[in-house]
A and B are shown apart, each in its own frame.
Chain A
Amino acid sequence: MATRRQIQQANGVAEILQGSFMKSVIQKSSALSLVLAASFLGTGSVQAEGVLFWSKQANPPEEQQAMRENVLSGFEGEVDFQGSEPGPWLTRLQAEIKAGSGKIAVLGGLHGDFTTMGDDLVDLSSVDLGDSEMNGTFMELGKLGGGELKYMPWMQATYVMAANKKALEHLPEGADVMALSYDELIAWSKALAEKTGSPKFGFPAGPKGLKHRFFQGYLYPSYTNSMVTKFRSAEAETAWNAFKDLWTVTNPGSTGYDNMSEPLLSEEVWVAFDHTARLANAFNERPEDFIAFPAAAGPAGRGFMPVIAGIAIPSTAPDMDAAKALVAYLTNPATQIETLKATSFFPVVDVELPDDMPPAVKLSGAAIAAMSGSDDANPGLLPVGLGKLGGQFNAVYVDAFERIVLGGEDVKAVLDEQAEALKAVMEEAGAPCWAPDPASDGPCPVE
């Protein structure tokens, strides 16, 4: 008896392992197995759907939709535009490069994204730009310091200020909003906090906020006429102390803001600094209620930083000719204007802008023109030649901000420590200085 049971047990186990139990489950759910079959069929019929445009830019749903419907619909072939977050964007690309074959035909990203991957990008010098006049400075940036054109400039943006019109009546006596100084901005923010009962200046210091660009391209150039060399100078101390002063009348919710459109629309914040694309929603939503104006000026001028997005082709692209055709298509003036409407990023080629532009484009366009055309304009370029150390470079500024402004540590002590970190980054990268720092032989020095 016991033996028979043991045999039965053994048989049972074997049958279970062979899957008769599974069969019974599937029989009971024939609908499920239908789907199962369908999905296997689905996997069999994989085919290329045109040129895959793998982009980190134009990722918000409305921009993706506009890219597909308005910008790319004019291309002669099919384009599959896929917006992606930075993590999956890079991981997928790395996987394709490592595997030696892939589906990505064209990459969309920022200057800083491409600096780390020069070797895996195809030289684009041979792309026929037709009669598009490409901005020369940007073309230089696209070479990543070498001879080959590693990415084609695609579009540009920068950072400006935005204000609710209600805030204008509290402007300090004699201040011109189109040509503010940091002292006036601080006085204005203090007046707003006093008159309205709560701090109304807002700053994108959230986890995904672009705060580091403010310190690199706005605060430092405005006070020290430098981004790197004078990191721990007396002028830098003045700059941080001024920002600390501004922080006392900054909305404390700022450490959670990644994008200033929303706090502006909800009127938690009346005056804000952010990337033009991240302000566009507020401007488009209620163009009558907001103004855009240039960033403030300090003792060393009106620092500002242009942002360059580029398009590149990975060495694993399946159809090189189609990919190059798409790159050429994206740089032609008509496409550039459509791209501007879709993303609020400005053209990098010479174009005549038509009148039917969205409000965000008109508002920030005017502010950018006033900023770059001002007498004291002091443009600072995006970090050049840092390669994969870009993240560490940004961290130097973000850490300084967190320790000085949020942590309340001693300005000089923090700057001395962070300067060592900055020096280490510059020396490891061996990157020479870029504007506004004067050109250097060898790595950009930190005094």
Chain B
Amino acid sequence: MNMAVGSQGGFQPGKSLRRAWFILITVVLCLWVLLPIYLLFSNAFSTSSGVSAFPKGIVPPFSTESVGFFFRYSGVGKAFWSSIQVAVLTMIMSILIGAPAGYSLSRFDFRGKNLFRILILMTRAFPLPLLALPMAVMFIRVGLDDTILGLALVHTTLALPFAVLITYSLFSGIPIELEEAAWTLGCNRIQAFRKVIFPLVLPGITASAIFAFVISWNEVFAAAVLTIEHRTLPAFILQSLGVAPLHLKFAGGAVLVLPALIFIFLVRKYLFAMWGIANR
């Protein structure tokens, strides 16, 4: 009896210590993400004097003035719409091009495969400010300048390496035997892909699509140079936030972050599903 209690007592602390660690790390990780968002939104909905006041009260003064400024800001609605168009187009194009590339990389052996994989990454080696000038000159000459499609092409180029590499690892994670089993049961290659592989990789593809969306949503420099009437929201707002007073910086930040947050919230189940696959 004594022994049992003793051994239980010896076992408990170790378990509860692990549990305490687990909780502590969870809390730290949550704070890591939530605290900046809390500060962003609490300051965005504060008064301008409340933002620069120190020390801060627990509940900051509430005002919608700073955020309201951006909703009344002429051109915000249009810029928001342009941003969505560019981001969605980027998302679609980078998946349409990236997923087949990822599939081929994972399923077929061909000469120069490794070189090709490195070349894909190389597209990220050149900073945009360096590329923007020749690109803009070309776009003006070709007629792509200041169009949604033109900017989406640039953003697709930025997102493509990630789309290819993410889908490559997704397809590689699915045993070829599954496909082969489908073939032996009478599917042709396309049917096997649609009925077996596609459902399995859909969450992952969605995740890489989200990634493309976010890359496009956050990109400022190319958008600022290549668009004028079709300015995206970041090019329209973020550019001028650096020189804005503090309370407008917070409000503008909140206005920029909110749509991305909502978008990720909407597609969160696909993201979680992808992590499920990664574990398997």
**In the complex, are the beta carbons of A85 and B140 less than 8 A apart?**
no
B225 contacts chain A at the CB level, 8 A cutoff: yes
* Chain B facing A: main interface SS: helix
Q: Which residues on B sit within 8 Å (CB–CB) of A46?
A: 146-147, 229-230
Query: Interface residue count for A (Cβ, 8 Å)?
Result: 63
B120 contacts chain A at the CB level, 8 A cutoff: no
Contact A88/B221 with A39-B148, A59-B243 known, Cβ cut-off 8 Å: yes
**In the complex, are the beta carbons of B224 and A266 less than 8 A apart?**
no
**In the complex, are the beta carbons of B74 and A8 less than 8 A apart?**
no
Query: Interface residue count for B (Cβ, 8 Å)?
Result: 65
B166 contacts chain A at the CB level, 8 A cutoff: no
Shortest Cβ distance from A24 into chain B, in angstroms?
Answer: 6
Q: Which residues on B sit within 8 Å (CB–CB) of A52?
A: 228
B159 contacts chain A at the CB level, 8 A cutoff: no
B264 contacts chain A at the CB level, 8 A cutoff: no
Contact A17/B85 with A8-B189, A59-B239 known, Cβ cut-off 8 Å: no
**In the complex, are the beta carbons of A39 and B133 less than 8 A apart?**
no
The chain B residues found within 8 Å of chain A, CB to CB, are: 48-49, 52-54, 69-70, 73-74, 82, 84-86, 88-89, 91-92, 95-96, 99-100, 103-104, 108, 129, 132-133, 136-137, 140-141, 146-150, 152, 183, 188-190, 192-194, 198, 205, 221, 224-225, 228-231, 235, 237, 239-246, 248, 252
Shortest Cβ distance from B151 into chain A, in angstroms?
Answer: 10
Q: Which residues on A sit within 8 Å (CB–CB) of B190?
A: 11-12, 15-16, 20-21
Q: Which residues on A sit within 8 Å (CB–CB) of B133?
A: 91, 94-95, 98
Contact A80/B189 with A32-B88, A36-B88, A60-B240 known, Cβ cut-off 8 Å: no
CA distance A64 to B70 in the complex (A): 12
Q: List 19 additional contacts besides A43-B230, A92-B225, A265-B49; criterion CB under 8 Å.
A: A8-B189, A12-B192, A21-B190, A33-B92, A39-B85, A39-B152, A46-B229, A59-B243, A61-B237, A68-B74, A80-B228, A83-B239, A84-B239, A88-B132, A103-B146, A259-B243, A261-B245, A267-B54, A281-B245
**In the complex, are the beta carbons of B239 and A262 less than 8 A apart?**
no
**In the complex, are the beta carbons of B183 and A91 less than 8 A apart?**
no
**In the complex, are the beta carbons of B183 and A8 less than 8 A apart?**
yes
CA distance A22 to B96 in the complex (A): 6
Q: Which residues on B sit within 8 Å (CB–CB) of A265?
A: 49, 52, 246
Contact A11/B188 with A42-B85, A61-B237, A82-B228 known, Cβ cut-off 8 Å: yes
Shortest Cβ distance from A63 into chain B, in angstroms?
Answer: 8
Shortest Cβ distance from B95 into chain A, in angstroms?
Answer: 7
Q: Which of B86, B230, B243 contacts A60 (CB 8 A)?
A: B243
**In the complex, are the beta carbons of B224 and A49 less than 8 A apart?**
no
Q: Which residues on A sit within 8 Å (CB–CB) of B137?
A: 95, 98-99
Q: Which residues on A sit within 8 Å (CB–CB) of B108?
A: 13
CA distance A261 to B244 in the complex (A): 10
**In the complex, are the beta carbons of B48 and A69 less than 8 A apart?**
no
CA distance A208 to B242 in the complex (A): 10
Q: Which residues on A sit within 8 Å (CB–CB) of B48?
A: 285
The chain A residues found within 8 Å of chain B, CB to CB, are: 5, 8-9, 11-13, 15-17, 19-22, 24-26, 32-33, 35-36, 38-40, 42-43, 46, 49, 52, 59-62, 64-65, 68-69, 80, 82-85, 87-88, 91-92, 94-96, 98-99, 101-103, 208, 259, 261-262, 265-267, 281, 285-286
Closest to A68 in B: B74
**In the complex, are the beta carbons of B147 and A87 less than 8 A apart?**
no
Closest to B231 in A: A82
**In the complex, are the beta carbons of B248 and A62 less than 8 A apart?**
yes
Q: Which residues on B sit within 8 Å (CB–CB) of A96?
A: 136, 140
Closest to A14 in B: B189
Q: Which residues on B sit within 8 Å (CB–CB) of A60?
A: 240, 243-245, 248
**In the complex, are the beta carbons of A61 and B241 less than 8 A apart?**
yes
Closest to A1 in B: B184
A-B contact pairs, 10 of them (CB 8 A): A8-B183, A12-B189, A16-B100, A16-B103, A35-B89, A61-B73, A68-B74, A82-B228, A103-B228, A266-B53
Shortest Cβ distance from A370 into chain B, in angstroms?
Answer: 26
Q: Which of A5, A15, A21, A85 contacts B242 (CB 8 A)?
A: A85
Shortest Cβ distance from B183 into chain A, in angstroms?
Answer: 6
**In the complex, are the beta carbons of A11 and B129 less than 8 A apart?**
no
CA distance A59 to B235 in the complex (A): 12
Shortest Cβ distance from A142 into chain B, in angstroms?
Answer: 25
**In the complex, are the beta carbons of B193 and A83 less than 8 A apart?**
no
Shortest Cβ distance from A285 into chain B, in angstroms?
Answer: 6
Shortest Cβ distance from A315 into chain B, in angstroms?
Answer: 14
CA distance A26 to B104 in the complex (A): 20
**In the complex, are the beta carbons of A42 and B230 less than 8 A apart?**
yes
CA distance A13 to B246 in the complex (A): 55
**In the complex, are the beta carbons of B96 and A25 less than 8 A apart?**
yes
Closest to A54 in B: B228
Contact A262/B52 with A22-B96, A36-B88 known, Cβ cut-off 8 Å: yes
Shortest Cβ distance from B72 into chain A, in angstroms?
Answer: 8
Closest to B75 in A: A68
Q: Which residues on B sit within 8 Å (CB–CB) of A5?
A: 183
**In the complex, are the beta carbons of A35 and B224 less than 8 A apart?**
no
Contact A21/B193 with A46-B229, A99-B141 known, Cβ cut-off 8 Å: yes
Closest to A34 in B: B88
Q: Which residues on A sit within 8 Å (CB–CB) of B183?
A: 5, 8
CA distance A178 to B251 in the complex (A): 37
Shortest Cβ distance from A15 into chain B, in angstroms?
Answer: 5
